[in-house]
Chain A
């Protein structure tokens, strides 16, 4: 545990000393803030109309009209930004030849991998926490439900955790950060849209491909439903990403 923290601490330092973390955070907040404002304006407009016409008043729900579309949009931003957060994790070690220092130290390979993973996860959690300021404003001026909001945040956090695991694996494959980002972005996108193929395919495939896609699992959580099946799905994906990262190193030794 202490060993994992050694690596995490060092990674966090590297993140904070380089401009990457600050620029990513700023742009994430800028873009998500833009989305939030627009969706809020749209929700406001809709609510006004419903109130004026008296039609559909019972369907006015701030969680459904504001937060659900907002979180759905946020996943798109994450798909672009998280690969940039993870691309340097191992690629840079290889390029700067510092990998040899880590791999010849008594630290276990899994401690190195988990340590790096945790560092990226912590940065991501901080970014996510900063977006909570939007929700605070909504709480000040309105009365949304807290529980579905927290569930949605948990969903978003788990989804990002999967993206980071994929990004870590991609970073272990190459010494070029851009290639790592391209690999992780494309993989995330493919797994995201794999359910589209499923929809038009034969019955058995439809089930499997829909299950594999991030989309179907995220949909539940963002609408406030926690299903253990979804949590298991995310955790399996994270484990798989870390395990594959480990395999890359094992494989390279014998290449």
Chain B
């Protein structure tokens, strides 16, 4: 359980985070969403105890980050944006070092290393020097070091940045599997990633909290941008084919669907539309529509 209450952080000349509050329940995966420089990393660093907040409280499992840092550090696993690895060590030596940092008992170190190596698929590079392993392996090693002490809370700063599509999917699968044992917070500016992996999102911009939508909210609607005018087509058959669709609206080129329950997989609907020879230009899952509304509306107001 992660609780952030009215947290603010100032650096000499910048207000990095301003009065942010949100809550993540145990066993959930939550996404941090926002443009670059929005304060995602700063908020995560506050949760790991790397930076103290100027105001407000951040608590993990009821422990205040400002008062009992040592307990916090033991239950939090952290993958910073730049993977913190020593390139002159081998994968094995590095994991051993991290295990010792977290005071894992000597006789359990071997077991802990084997566990994370298997979990993150590092077997192939186990004995190699870190400077010689590929970007994808480096990122996996970063995740391995974050979970070696079986943390209750896992904080991942841009875990899929710079990876190729196959690697991204692999990492996402891995993150999903952590759900059983830990509460996870991850940051990303890829909307699809948050939509697919997370149970909820914290949208921040310029250090301020904009919205905290949950999967239930964004999983209930879908926007499909077509090449033609959506209003010209008769959509009544769509509702019959998919009883889960509660409402169909056509606005210009956009077809807006609402569902009676949360839908995780839109593939069948998309396939149906393609078979009907509808030309699809863009698909916006609920979160994307919401995010764009928030970010663009703000920018519109500013200019």
Residues of chain A whose beta carbon lies under 8 Å from any beta carbon of chain B: 2-3, 6, 9-10, 13-14, 17-18, 96-107, 253-255
Assess whether B78 is interfacial by the CB under 8 Å rule: yes
Assess whether B101 is interfacial by the CB under 8 Å rule: yes
B93 to chain A, nearest CB (A): 7
A106–B78 Cα distance when bound, in Å, is 12
A104 with B78: CB separation less than 8 A = yes
A255 with B11: CB separation less than 8 A = yes
**Nearest chain A residue, comparing its CB with the CB of B81:** A97
B78 with A6: CB separation less than 8 A = no
Can you list, as one digit per residue, whether each of B122-162 has a CB less than 8 Å from chain A (1) or not (0)? Answer: 00000000000000000000000100000000000000000
B100 with A97: CB separation less than 8 A = no
17 A-B pairs with CB atoms under 8 Å apart are A2-B103, A6-B97, A10-B97, A14-B86, A96-B87, A98-B84, A98-B85, A100-B84, A101-B84, A101-B98, A101-B145, A102-B101, A103-B50, A104-B73, A104-B76, A105-B98, A255-B12
Number of interface residues of B (CB under 8 A): 28
A98–B12 Cα distance when bound, in Å, is 23
Assess whether B80 is interfacial by the CB under 8 Å rule: yes
Interface pairs A-B: 7 shortest CB-CB: A101-B84, A97-B82, A105-B101, A6-B100, A106-B73, A98-B84, A100-B80
Chain B residues, CB < 8 A from A106: 70, 73-74, 101-103
Q: A3-B103, A105-B102 are in contact. List 15 more A-B contacts (CB 8 A).
A: A2-B103, A6-B100, A6-B101, A9-B97, A10-B86, A14-B86, A98-B84, A101-B84, A101-B145, A102-B101, A104-B49, A104-B73, A105-B101, A106-B101, A253-B51
Assess whether B88 is interfacial by the CB under 8 Å rule: yes
Assess whether B39 is interfacial by the CB under 8 Å rule: no
Assess whether B89 is interfacial by the CB under 8 Å rule: yes
Chain B residues, CB < 8 A from A17: 88-89
A95 to chain B, nearest CB (A): 10
Chain A residues, CB < 8 A from B11: 255
Chain A residues, CB < 8 A from B49: 104
A139–B250 Cα distance when bound, in Å, is 99
Assess whether B188 is interfacial by the CB under 8 Å rule: no
- Across the interface, B88 reaches (CB within 8 A) one of A3, A14, A107, namely A14
A119 to chain B, nearest CB (A): 13
**Nearest chain A residue, comparing its CB with the CB of B50:** A104
Chain A residues, CB < 8 A from B50: 100, 103-104
A255–B50 Cα distance when bound, in Å, is 13
Chain B residues, CB < 8 A from A6: 97, 100-101
Assess whether B42 is interfacial by the CB under 8 Å rule: no
B278 to chain A, nearest CB (A): 47
Assess whether B52 is interfacial by the CB under 8 Å rule: yes
